[in-house]
């Protein structure tokens, strides 16, 4: 048996504790699969006194996580602190500079500094692995690095945030609106006290930026992601979607276009015939379309102690075996600096819901605005009659340019008969 792979862990929250448990429970199996023992030698976290359901009696405690980067008895540092700046970034940089391998679950760090860190890892001849950073236990990074490496990726899309998927699923199943379901999700532990990172699409955008780098061999560019959240989606929209044969999902999508790489995160109308429409609750799913393999779909739990710890340990086994591949599939120096495709250039169909006063001439006014932008209406629905209150009008369009649709929505929102800003949701052909 070869010498042990000596491990240091920074961060003992939910995921860190899960990694310690997995290493303890599957130690013998992991030694066989990794070709050498995986030995936890040191840990670091904010509080040593905090009660944790793990045995750390034989493990050295480091008060300063940066000590793991300098420790001579640590071969690989697992960074589970989180955040794109501060101590997490310093630890990863120092560990790589000191000639240690790094395994991380930090999607924000990779989204903001992934290219830089990949370059440093390759310069030092060390492995930077991050399966746990995207989609929890779903092995999508490994799929892009290995199983799909013979393909040019045409398009990638997925449900990348379990909190949003849970909220949208519950809204559909119960008929309750966003604020009510969000409060229930917070009480149940599915949403944070401050949910903005999830419900405003930032978490999904971090993950999409990392996936785009790996899928398209380009520099990681979080700033190039168009981001919208789910706060404006109502139970009414979800009901209309079902009636029209769609389901609303927050998706992250990336593809190459003649104008550059298009990266976007926003609510989408997805046909009920698409498999991803039926991924419910806290589950994630990623679809990759390759030129030779066709369409492949990966699904599973996108977060949680067990799935994320599983992904971290999978990376550890690769390190133990010496499976060294570029972090983003191609060498960091060869990652393309691709242009960002302007969102206004996006071509697609749209759903628009309006709350309007029920009086003659409203539909004619709407049609006039759309005609001036050369937008063709595919269908229109009107529900209810009321002389004293607004009624919903829903229309769907044929494919048109995003910029034209946004101009039309802005003009329609200013019409006297329209009571509030139009709700606009893109319809995705998946």
Q: Which residues pair with 426 in a beta bridge?
A: 268, 350
207 carries an active-site annotation: yes
> DSSP string spanning 367-406?
HHHHHHTTPPEEEEEE----SSSEEEEEEEE-SEEHHHHH
First-last CA distance in the chain:
49
* 39 neighbors 59 (Cβ within 8 angstroms): no
Candidates 207, 339, 372, 414; catalytic one: 207
Instruction: Report CA 152 to chain centroid distance, whole Å.
Output: 21
Q: Which helix (H) or strand (E) holds 227?
A: strand 225-227
Q: Are 340 and 254 in contact (CB under 8 A)?
A: no
> CA 226, 119, 293, 309: dihedral to nearest 10 degrees?
-80
**Which pair of tokens denotes residue 121?**
């890892």
* φ, ψ at 198 (rounded to 5°): -85, -60
Contact 340, 261 (CB under 8 A): yes
Tokens of 393: 């009008």
CB 228 within 8 A of CB 267: yes
Across-strand partners of 107?
none
Closest CA to 417 of 371, 378, 367, 373: 367
User: Which tokens go with 295?
Assistant: 């369409």
Nearest to 140 by CA among 323, 340, 307, 337: 307
Q: How far apart are CA 158 and CA 284, in angstroms?
A: 7
3-state secondary structure of 327: coil
Distances from the Cα of 220 to the Cα of 113, 216, 328, angstroms: 8, 10, 9
Which residues have a catalytic role annotated?
207
């Amino acid at each position: 048996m070869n010498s042990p792979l000596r491990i240091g862990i920074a961060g003992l929250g939910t995921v860190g504790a899960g990694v310690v448990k997995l290493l303890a429970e599957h130690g013998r199996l992991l030694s066989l699969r990794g070709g050498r023992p995986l030995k936890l030698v040191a840990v670091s976290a904010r509080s040593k006194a905090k009660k944790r359901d793990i045995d750390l009696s034989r493990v050295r405690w480091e008060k300063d996580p940066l000590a793991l980067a300098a420790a001579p008895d640590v071969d690989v540092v697992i960074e589970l602190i989180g955040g794109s700046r501060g101590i997490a970034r310093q630890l990863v940089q120092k560990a790589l500079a000191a000639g240690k391998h790094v395994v991380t679950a930090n999607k924000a760090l990779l989204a903001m500094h992934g290219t830089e860190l990949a370059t440093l890892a390759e310069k030092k001849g060390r492995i930077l692995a991050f399966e746990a950073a995207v989609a929890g236990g779903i092995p999508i990074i490994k799929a892009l690095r290995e199983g799909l490496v013979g393909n040019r990726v045409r398009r990638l899309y997925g449900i990348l945030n379990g909190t949003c998927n849970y909220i949208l699923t519950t809204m559909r199943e119960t008929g309750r609106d966003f604020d009510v379901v969000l409060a229930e999700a917070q009480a149940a532990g599915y949403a944070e006290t401050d949910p903005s990172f999830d419900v405003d699409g930032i978490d999904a955008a971090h993950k999409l930026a990392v996936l785009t780098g790996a899928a398209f061999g380009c520099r990681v560019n979080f700033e190039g992601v168009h981001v919208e959240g789910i706060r404006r989606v109502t139970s009414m929209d979800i009901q209309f979607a079902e009636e029209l044969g769609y389901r609303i999902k927050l998706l992250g999508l990336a593809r190459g276009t003649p104008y550059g790489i298009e990266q976007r995160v926003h609510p989408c109308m997805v046909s009920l015939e698409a498999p991803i429409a039926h991924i419910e609750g806290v589950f994630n799913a990623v679809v990759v379309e390759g030129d030779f393999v066709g369409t492949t779909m990966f699904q599973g739990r996108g977060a949680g102690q067990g799935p994320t710890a599983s992904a971290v340990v999978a990376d550890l086994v690769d390190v133990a075996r010496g499976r060294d591949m570029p972090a983003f599939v191609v060498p960091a120096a060869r990652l393309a600096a691709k242009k960002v495709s302007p969102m206004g250039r996006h071509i697609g169909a749209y759903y628009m819901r309006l709350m309007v006063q029920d009086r003659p001439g409203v539909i004619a006014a709407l049609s006039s605005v759309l005609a001036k932008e050369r937008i063709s209406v595919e269908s229109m629905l009107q529900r209810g009659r009321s002389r004293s209150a607004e009624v919903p009008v829903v229309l769907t369009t044929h494919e048109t340019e995003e910029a034209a649709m946004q101009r039309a929505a802005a003009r329609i929102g200013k019409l006297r008969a329209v009571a509030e800003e139009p709700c606009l949701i893109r319809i995705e052909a998946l």
